[in-house]
Amino acid sequence: MYLITVFGNLLIILAISSDSHLHTPMYFFFSNLAFLDICFTSITIPKMLVNIQTQNKVISYEDCLTQTYFFLLFAQLGDFLLTVMAYDSFIAICHPLHYTVIMNPLLSGLLVLISWVIGALSSLLQTLLALQLSFCTVSEIPHFCEFKEVIQLPCSNTFLNNTMMYFAVGLFGGGPFAGICYSYSKIVSSIGGISSSQGKYKAFSTCASHLSTVSSFYCAVLRMYFTPAITHCSHSSEAASMMYAVVTPMLKPFIYSLRNKVIKSALRKFFGVAVIKGPIVLG
């Protein structure tokens, strides 16, 4: 699953970068999301594979907090990028004549940069607060060093950490989700005004891949952060973590490429160029 995730998303990035027709804001955000998925899975799955191979499930305190920081960072970045992509679809469908003016390269790069800065600062703040906690000598977490699991381990008071965690989930999860819902409410209203059935189908197919990714992401997050504490240690909690940490990043290349003729065409061109650039034998 890890190899499929890495190579699948890497192929998407290479196909987009090699095709000049795909140097647009939508595919720029898509390539950033693919790069993010590679990073997101690389902070958890390799450690899991080592644990399976060595039968040693120990992780150091420093490594656990490092994994926690990057897990928070990439999860929040994924949330922000999905929101930016929803805004991009909103401009493309609702304001097509002004799309190139509004979604210019400067704004696209600025949106991604702001997402990185906010995600990095928020993750750093929560990790620094976790450093102030006093942990017991022997601690156990169910799967990997996810923030909610880590702050349940200390012997000291975690009220501030829990407050900040749910505040961050509400602000950086609820805010983007509200933005996505608003964008799609406008998109649906705009599509309803299209007279051509072919035009409606094209607009809906453009948003279908993004909607499926958004729904899987938010369902897993809601399952993790808003289930009762009594059921949190069950296998369903671990399944939810695996869903958005492993399964969703693996499925995204298939979701976006199989339903997107432009991506499929770019992949065919990329492999065609790779074959042409192979060795040539002269008779």
221 in any annotated domain: yes
Instruction: Give the pTM.
Output: 0.83
**Model confidence pLDDT, tens digit, residues 239-281:** 666 776 788 788 877 777 766 677 777 777 777 755 555 565 5
Higher pLDDT, 235 or 19: 19
pLDDT score of 230 more than 50: no
In this prediction, residues 80-99 reach a mean pLDDT of 89
21 within domain boundaries: yes
Domain span at residue 63 reads 2-276
In a domain, 281, yes or no: no
CATH at residue 182: 1.20.1070.10
First to last CA, the chain: 44
Question: Would 142 be classed as within a structural domain?
Answer: yes
Q: Is residue 165 part of a domain?
A: yes
Determine, yes or no, domain membership for 282.
no
String of DSSP letters for 182-235: HHHHHHHHHHHT---HHHHHHHHHHHHHHHHHHHHHHHHHHHHHSS-TTTTTSH
How many structural domains compose the chain? 1
pLDDT band of residue 38 (cuts 50, 70, 90) is very high
